[in-house]
Chain A
Amino acid sequence: MSDQPASPVPSAPQPVMSTPRRLDIEITARCNLRCRYCYFFDNPAVPYRDLDTATWLRFFDELGACQVMDVCISGGEPFLRPDLPELLAGIVRNRMRFNLVSNGALIDDAKAAAVAATRRCNYVQISVDGSCADTHDVCRGPGSFAGALRGIRTLQRHGIPVAARVTIHRHNVRDLPAVARLLLDELEVPAFSTNAASELGSFARHADQIAMTVADRELAMRSLVELKERYGGRITANAGPLADAEYWARMETARRQGAPAFSDGGRLSACGCVFEKIAVRADGAIVPCSMLAHLELGRIGRDRLAEVWRSAPELVRLRARQAIPLQRFAGCRDCAYAPYCTGNCPGLAYSLTGEIDRPSPDACLRLFLEAGGAIDGRAARISPGAEVAE
């Protein structure tokens, strides 16, 4: 055992809402692209088929009765559904707002006008992985960069808020400053979020071509920290290199100072999603989230959402994951970072280890350092709540 501060034990379980506040809905299993790291496709547990309009509309009525506030409509590519305006009308009728996740290529004036007419769209998120076709299209396919930019400009013409998502991989890690210039300066997108191509779905088939090396990850972290300093809150991340850089800097600062354990540290507490949202696959299976798409909790049209939300054993177990101490795991027992570590994403933990109730090796600081990686103290300056490591 290392000489490390004791981790706090949660005094009471986190309360659970009576119904989910938000839903992630994969409205279609069809897509016009086949991106090489797509988390959605190539999951052997998922039957890729679509539901009809009426089934979704009945489900939206149920969401309205559950007082759901927001739905995130993704796919596949949601703009492939010819009934999308009718589906959005069902969302509006049930007093919800929505956002759409798209590759942008199919968005024309008619589709953008239909979205704008709802007046309930928070934003449309468009994937942009490069500053030019060379870096964007390498994983997404020829013509996809032009389609993404065309989609963004069409949405902007119709006054629809646009967000961008940059997925970082081996081929675009050196392009990030140019990506930021394109999105934030030239296209004037208010903000973009970042993540990394991860060990989910189609990634496994192409890992040898797209996975980042330790040096790539270092470069991505350094580059994104510098860009965030320049652009402020216009670059965000919940996962991937920027999130790792910020959180790891906090952990390193705390370790050096011998700080008390973080209030959520030392436990598998990373995922709060299961306390406020749930997901539905294109075939109608209710699952905890898109990254745990194999874990069927129920099925729309057959099971009541509120009942699944409150009582599905797998979901109850996922919520209890927060109390599992890292000391249970051999790799964490003598880790000086354990009191500040939250175990990371359960979806990636499952994908990488075959178990949900384990820490994910993907965002493990200790493993990263043992592999020769280094972290940059500058990240602590832009990480809320952190003091600067000397």
Chain B
Amino acid sequence: MKIHEYQAKEIFGTSGIPIPKGEVTSSPDEARQIALRYEKAVMVKAQVHVGGRGKAGGIKYCAEPDDAFFAAEEILRMEIKGLPVKKILVAEALDIASEAYVGIVLDRVSKKPVIMVSAAGGIDIEEVAQKTPGKIMKFAVDPVMGLHGFQATSLAMFVYNDMKLVRQCTGIIQKLYDVFMNSDSTLAEINPLIVTKEGTMIALDAKINLDDNGLYRHPDLEAMRDLDAEEPDEIEAKKADLSYVKLDGNIGCCVNGAGLAMATMDLVKHFGGEPANFLDIGGSSSPEKVISAMKIILGEPKVKVILFNIFGGITRCDDVANGIVQAVGHLKPSIPIVVRLTGTNEDEGKRILKGVGMEATSSMEEAVKLALEKAA
């Protein structure tokens, strides 16, 4: 799950990482009020779940409160990479002496959190990594041992020479590591980490991506979910415990298992069709899940046929068949349904479908071809 800059900064703030004074709002009037109260220049920053806000004009320097009003008005009308801006952060503008980068990400290869630091902050770190890898220092933390002070210090010393700054940076790296582990992050990043003209170190920007699997133990973080930033169908699917991704085609797919669901989409394309969605009903599928899945697929007017591809393992074919029968009874779909059932309790599943005059095939290819025929 992605959260906004202002939310990440809230987490930083409570963890003791210094952040600039700022407030979030959706109103240009309030933006002006905030600037008035701060009695200094402010930055107005678009809050959207994409990078490159600055380049897109979503971050503006405002010397006067009236400027903040107009900047807010303009930014709130913007779409950045297709996402409408609904909120802005109004934060005090600071005099920057230097910009650095500090980030932590879980490295899939070493299976360790990797801390990256660079004195070249403020810009795309992936570009720095590609063009001038020598400017980045990486350190993989042993997650069982945790991050030791001397390790954080050696990272800080790569960025700064002044020991005063090294000490401040060491503290920030340690706190960022704690944030990363304690909030179940997959990414925690400060870019840029600035030093002001007065010599204070501050996290000018903040980015945190959260691990969906860890959210169950962080109700406070789950509450940060911005429903405006997600597809309504995908929210609906999440509530029903389905994983769903909307696509552009007309073949509605309902599959158990992520790998098989992807392979089903691939097969639809292979035979010349276009999938309308990725939908994994998961393991242990109850009839209710099947009903929710069909409801979501039927909500998409483009869909011309629903293709069920079920290979029972922990999912039982009879559960799915019962769900299909109930869903058809409830929702009375006007489009054809093609079913493939194989695996655990396959015979029972097929018998249940036969009871209501529905056929099921055992072969995925047959089912996909049949679905394409019916959609044509």
Genuine A/B complex: no
* Chain A interface (Cβ < 8 Å from any Cβ of B): none
* Chain B interface (Cβ < 8 Å from any Cβ of A): none
